[in-house]
Amino acid sequence: AQSVSQHNHHVILSEAASLELGCNYSYGGTVNLFWYVQYPGQHLQLLLKYFSGDPLVKGIKGFEAEFIKSKFSFNLRKPSVQWSDTAEYFCAVSGYSSASKIIFGSGTRLSIRP
């Protein structure tokens, strides 16, 4: 079955701490991978995406993610978080063809202590 697992439901960090949010997927075939962010009271925005090429993807606001095909993982990282990074983060996967739909993980809530 196609699925996305985000094992951390709620992560609490202090400002300047390093961040890594886990994402594992189950999906047959070639995949596209995404991280979306939802700031409090706002809609989902794309943080970064992987379609092909370099497995280390850099996104907005200093975030990056690494696609490790052998581990079916696409973990999100940031070396030093800020209070403004407080949000909910969703990992998502889709197939490579135009007929594929995006499947979202259950989300990880990130709280940053000032």
Residue 104, interface with another protein (CB under 8 A)? yes
Q: For residues 24 and 73, is the Cβ–Cβ distance under 8 A?
A: yes
The three-state (H, E, C) secondary structure of 11-76, written as one string: EEEECCCCEEECCEEECCCCEEEEEEEECCCCCCEEEEEECCCCCEEECHHHCEEEEEHHHCEEEE
What character string, x for contact with another protein (CB under 8 A) and - otherwise, covers 37-76? -----xxxxx--x-x-------------------------
Q: For residues 21 and 12, is the Cβ–Cβ distance under 8 A?
A: no
Task: With contacts defined by CB under 8 A, name the span among 19-27, 65-73, 75-83, 100-108 that binds another protein.
Answer: 100-108
**Which residue is associated with the tokens 């400002």?**
15
Residue 8, interface with another protein (CB under 8 A)? no
Minimum CB–partner distance for residue 108 and another protein (Å): 10
Query: Given the rule CB under 8 A, which residues bind another protein?
Result: 4, 6, 9, 32, 34, 36, 42-46, 49, 51, 90, 94-102, 104-107
